[in-house]
Amino acid sequence: MELHVCLNGGRDGADGTAVPLSPGALVRSAAQAVAAGATHIHVHPRTPCGRESLSPRVVEPAVAALRALPGVPVGVTTGAWTEPDPALRLERVRGWSALSARPDFASVNWHEPGAEAVAAQLLALGIGVEAGIWSGTEGAARFAASPLRSRVLRVLAEVTDTEPDSAEESARALLAELGTGLGRPVLLHGEDGGAWPVLCLAGRLGLATRIGLEDTLHLPDGEPAASNAELVAKAVTLLRAAERDAGRG
């Protein structure tokens, strides 16, 4: 199974959760998550004061630290919230050309201004692109019309419906909007209250998925998760059960 661990996202640990922020904390958390069954790593690099950043000086230490886990692909965000000015965001990504430790892939949210330019720059650098398509946005329609759609590594189908009772329905609607993902592999995931229902749906459908403290702070029973590794271990159990139910295990 392809299971990505999303280590931190926009969380800052201010609520007492064990969200890894520094390069050292990231690699410790990632190592535990990989041991629990994660196959890929997704991270939001932070400055020493905890702010998300696309600066080469911030991205490189995070990626370099995670290279301590050989053979595990490492991805980062390029979300517009890290740099609202599309021109400056593109300049930051262009600066990754000088990195000695580059990410293997980066997510690009297709509904955000400047997405096409950022994706094109990543491809020019030899960095894989995850096309982030959020439910409730124009991302799917824009991606369908994009000349880059056949060149992305995968489609990252992100269900923004956080209600446990409706997230699966929203996920199915997003997949229907995407069709077959326009010929690219699809990773399906949810967030907060929708994280576990959408993960289980991904398992039943045989799609890649992800889990981690970026997406949820809780286990399926509502108890707080102690770590990314605990979330991954529970996800592996649920995904294996889904595979058996679907006759793939």
Give the chain's domains with CATH numbers: 3-245 (3.20.20.70)
Task: Say whether pLDDT at 143 is over 80.
Answer: yes
Q: Distance between CA atoms of 89 and 110, rounded to whole angstroms?
A: 14
221, with CB counted inside 10 A (0-12, 13-18, 19+), is exposed
Mean pLDDT of the 92-108 span: 97
Q: What is the DSSP letter of 222?
A: S
Q: Distance between CA atoms of 187 and 21, rounded to whole angstroms?
A: 24
* Mean pLDDT, the chain, integer: 95
Q: Distance between CA atoms of 68 and 28, rounded to whole angstroms?
A: 10
168-209 pLDDT, tens per residue?
999 999 999 998 656 899 999 999 999 999 999 999 999 999
User: How far apart, in Å, are the Cα atoms of 90 and each of 4, 127, 153, 190, 242?
Assistant: 25, 14, 19, 27, 40
Q: Distance between CA atoms of 23 and 21, rounded to whole angstroms?
A: 7
4-28 pLDDT, tens per residue?
999 999 998 877 788 999 999 999 9
30-61 pLDDT, tens per residue?
999 999 999 999 999 999 998 999 999 999 99
Q: What is the DSSP letter of 98?
A: G
Burial code (b: 16+ CB inside 10 Å, e: under 16) for 46-69 equals beeeeebbbebebbbbbbbbbeeb
Let me know how long the chain is.
249
Mean pLDDT of the 146-166 span: 97
Q: Give me the pLDDT at residue 179, please.
A: 87
